[in-house]
A and B are shown apart, each in its own frame.
Chain A
Amino acid sequence: MADTAHAAPDGAPRRDFLKLVTGAFAAVGVGAIAWPFIASLQPAKDTLALASTDVDLAPITEGQAITVMWRGKPVFVRNRTAKEIEEARAVPVNSMPDPATDQSRVQKDEWLVLIGICTHLGCVPTGQKPTDTRGDYGGWFCPCHGSHYDSAGRIRKGPAPRNLDVPQYAFTSDTKIRIG
């Protein structure tokens, strides 16, 4: 404290300012270094490249369903019967946990395409095979914690918060779709 006399009266604020600048600089530096590490944990380019899958619908007869893999996830493709479509359209939408009309979930009435992952905690619901239990609403049933989905893949009962997701897909011809 020998040089007190030389210290400007604003010495302390200046010191504070220098500390702040240094601290801010260090924080930005740490962030810049952390960035590539966090980015490395995100899906890699080859994972993203596997982003589309073609499905031939011709062999799927009415009432049948198949499961294909897309991005490591099961995708349900179901050729719905007229009765299933009618059931899905008859119910009032407002009474559902995640209201959505059946029309908003399909591109062609009979073809329902869904990501086969329960929106609760990610199990694969049963209901694809004719022998599977389909739950109380004739669609799918998730055995993990008991979520019931209807024939439009909408959540009707159980802990799942959302309807089964509809992936991006397009009809590439009358009997072919490309998912992704």
Chain B
Amino acid sequence: MSIGLHKSEFSNPLVRWIDQRLPVFTMMQKEYGTFPTPRNFNYFWNFGALAMVTLMIMIATGIFLSMHYVANTNLAFDSVERIMRDVNSGWLIRYVHMNGASMFFIVVYIHIFRGMYYGSYKAPRELLWMLGVTIFLLMMATAFMGYVLPWGQMSFWGATVITNLFSAFPVVGNFIVELLWGGFSVDNATLNRFFSLHYLLPFVILGVVFLHVAALHITGSNNPLGIEPKGAQDTLPFHPYYTAKDSVGLVVYFIVFAGLVFFAPNYLGHADNYIPANPLVTPPHIVPEWYFLPYYAILRAVPDKLGGVLLMFGSILIWFVLPWLDRSPVRSMRFRPLARPFFLLWAVNFLVLLWVGAKPAEGTYVLIAQISTAYYFAYFLVVLPLLAKFERPLPLPESISRPVLGGGPLSMGAAAKPMEKA
């Protein structure tokens, strides 16, 4: 072994030659091969891998769409119709991209739910969690700008309403809005910069995902019990155990995805987006894509413009400080008899917001949105901080492997001894 070369354990001469000079194979082996992973994952732990797969699909289909798409207000709508009718397989690539955005949000919402239910945001994983929230914000920006590109009625008016949100901020508001528009309304300059950013941001997401995974591989994964692995008997090598389990989930994911693409490609979309953008006529009922509805409901629940905008942004930004709002040392909701129902109610409440966001903002719908908005924030700002003080958690298991591998309850002394069995 010459000096300056990495010690490689690979025997294939080519792999070895590369690995000695750039140990990517060693790294992959360490991070995705032997990587010790808690042995008790349930299927909720599939969704990180699924999100990664979705990102890859979005980038691949997006690059091919860009080869036919034209970012110009006079041509954009027709170029998308041309993709649908004339470009070979264009309809497939576009429908995969369109529904891929929805799949991305479904997967990431479940991934976030998992993190909240099992307390994955708690120490030492706070930064990992915050990187995740950052990814989510970037995803929202990307999806919003992507939806503008086909230049239909919803594209145009969605873009108008959302960019106008920034005008609510005092002093800098109008300056920001003109920077977003590059003019005095949503127009060609806007479409061009949104296309540029829509192409760029997914690669920024990729970068943050890398940091997210790097942080994960420092702390290791959380697990359904929310207790740390105490030794080798509590973990399994990632490959083949979790590569196999992830593959099962991936097959189910593809079935759902294919079902959408081939049988209901426009189910989650809005028919008005097949009408070309018309800056003179606002559709009577503007709704954003389904994955933005909860925040749209919060925006409309507040009668004041600035207040609505602040609460809407706050509803996601509050996730950043969740690790400090919930000071209970117990991670998994399985062992938190009070927090568990409050959290499940919060999740249902989120779905209520999603539902009411699509309804017209009048009558009882407004009231429902207001109550739901209040509970949304109360859970974070009142319930969690109080429960951390007053809740009595159930006793935690001694270790991950104990209930699986059997053996009676451990005495306090025995638990401290590392077990050799693996």
Contact = CB atoms under 8 A, between A and B. Distances in A.
Interface of A: 38, 41-44, 47, 67, 69, 71-74, 117, 120-126, 142-146, 159-161
Interface stretch (B130-138, B156-164, B230-238): B156-164
B282 A124 contact: yes
A47 B183 contact: yes
Contacts of A161: 305
A125 B157 CA distance: 13
B182 A44 contact: yes
A121 B303 contact: no
B69 to A, nearest CB: 22
A47 B184 contact: yes
Contact of A143 (B187, B280, B284): B284
Given A67-B280, A121-B164, A146-B362, A41 B193 contact: yes
A125 B184 CA distance: 18
A145 B184 contact: no
A38 B279 CA distance: 26
Q: Which of A69, A143, A160 has the most CB of B within 10 A?
A: A143
Interface in B58-117: none
A72 B187 contact: yes
B304 interface: yes
Contact of A41 (B163, B182, B280): B182
Contacts of A41: 179, 182, 193
Contacts of A44: 182-183, 189
17 contacts: A41-B182, A41-B193, A42-B178, A43-B184, A47-B184, A71-B185, A73-B279, A120-B164, A121-B160, A121-B305, A122-B161, A122-B163, A144-B286, A145-B300, A145-B361, A160-B305, A161-B305
A73 B281 CA distance: 11
A67 to B, nearest CB: 6
A142 B161 CA distance: 12
A72 B159 CA distance: 14
A144 B184 contact: no
Interface string B170-205: 000000001101111111010001000000000000
B301 to A, nearest CB: 11
B304 A123 contact: no
Contacts of B286: 123, 144
B304 A159 contact: yes
Contacts of A67: 280
B285 interface: yes
A72 B416 CA distance: 72
A168 to B, nearest CB: 13
B280 A74 contact: yes
Contacts of A125: 282
A123 B160 CA distance: 7
Given A41-B179, A41-B193, A120 B305 contact: yes
Given A42-B179, A143-B284, A122 B189 contact: no
A71 B183 CA distance: 8
A103 to B, nearest CB: 27
A121 B189 CA distance: 19
B279 A72 contact: yes
Contacts of A121: 160-161, 164-165, 305
A122 B164 CA distance: 6
A143 B285 contact: yes
A74 B362 CA distance: 27
A122 B304 CA distance: 15
Top 10 nearest A-B pairs (CB, nearest first) are A72-B185, A122-B164, A71-B184, A123-B282, A121-B164, A121-B161, A122-B160, A124-B282, A72-B187, A47-B183
A144 B182 contact: no
Contact of A47 (B165, B182, B186): B182
